[in-house]
Amino acid sequence: MADYRVIACEVFKEELLLGLSVPAEKCLFLPQGLHRTPDQLGVELQKAIDQLDEEGGIDRIYLGYGLCGNGVAGVKSCRSRLVIPDSEDCIPVLHGLPGVGQGRAIDRITSYYLSHGWIAYGKDGWKEYERCLTIFDQETAYWCVKEMLKHYKRFTLIDTGMLSHAEDQAYTHKVSTFFGLEDGETQGSLDWLESLLREDPAFNLTVLPGVALETRLFAVNRESGGDTAGKGLDKSLSQAGGKG
CB of 224 to another protein, least distance (A): 3
CB of 24 to another protein, least distance (A): 29
Only segment of 8-16, 114-122, 142-150, 232-240 that touches another protein (CB under 8 A): 142-150
Q: Does 47 bind another protein (CB under 8 A)?
A: no
Q: Which of 25, 54, 139, 147 binds another protein (CB under 8 A)?
A: 147
**Best CA proximity match to 198, nearest among 243, 161, 235, 239:** 243
Q: Does 51 bind another protein (CB under 8 A)?
A: no
CB of 109 to another protein, least distance (A): 6
**Site map (CB under 8 A) of another protein, residues 5-24, x = contact:** --------------------
Smaller CB separation from another protein, 55 or 130:
130
Q: Does 177 bind another protein (CB under 8 A)?
A: no
Q: Which residues contact 170 (CB under 8 A, 6 or more apart)?
A: none
Q: Which of 53, 59, 128, 200 binds another protein (CB under 8 A)?
A: 128
Q: Which of residues 62-121 bind another protein (CB under 8 A)?
A: 66-71, 88-89, 108-109
Residues that bind another protein (CB under 8 A): 36-38, 66-71, 88-89, 108-109, 128, 131-132, 135-136, 140-141, 143-145, 147-148, 151-152, 215, 220-221, 223-226, 228-229
